[in-house]
Amino acid sequence: MERRHLIKTVGIISTGGVTSLAGCTGSGDGNGGSESTGTDNSGDSNTVLMVTEGSEYYFDPIGLFVEAGETVTFEIESGSHSATAYSEDTSSASVTRIPDGAAAFNSEILSEQGATYEHTFETTGTYDYFCLPHKTLGMVGRIVVGEPSGPAEGSMPPDGPVPESQTIVDQGSVSYSEFSG
């Protein structure tokens, strides 16, 4: 199964034949997530870009498959966005579309290009999420962790369509252009 990984480096240091990478990481937010305006050099996380392109606002990929325990990095490519779980615990969501017992996540609004938010997905199931300022414009996404299940299965988020969970599992990720094209 092919999954998209993005590795960025801040600098490469070479001394006496030993090469190392220099970078910075974010601090935890207490909900399995962290915010950083630095770069993630772990190579262990999958990256979802948050994009403003003309009058389009989207996550890319719009659908992503990960295994339980993997971390997803949400990164601002352009514009100001958030990655916010559909959880009734979040004031902007009227429904819950994450697995029972799963930690809700909310990056709050990030606006600096390259700013990132990370969330580690521990609970198996289907997670639908949205962008706080662009939810009503259909900026939604779906992550399947391990296998499809939970309240998001069998229907679409209230604010826009996402790829079917089985398609995400089969392909590993579904790009925005592939889905919207």
Query: pTM of the prediction?
Result: 0.77
Tell me, yes or no, whether 15 lies in a domain: no
Tell me, yes or no, whether 17 lies in a domain: no
Number of domains within the chain: 1
Q: Is 24 annotated as a binding residue?
A: no
Tell me, yes or no, whether 8 lies in a domain: no
Q: Is 50 annotated as a binding residue?
A: no
Q: Is 131 annotated as a binding residue?
A: yes
State how far the alpha carbon of 118 is from the alpha carbons of 18, 37, 177, in Å: 30, 11, 23
Q: What is the CATH number of the domain that holds 65?
A: 2.60.40.420
Tell me, yes or no, whether 9 lies in a domain: no
Tell me, yes or no, whether 47 lies in a domain: yes
CA distance 159 to 36: 28
3-state secondary structure of 136: helix
Q: What is the mean pLDDT of each run of 10 residues along the chain (181 residues)?
A: 36 38 36 44 70 97 98 97 94 93 96 97 98 96 98 96 97 96 80
Range of the domain at 175: 24-180
- Whether residue 71 contacts residue 48, with contact meaning beta carbons closer than 8 Å, is answered with no
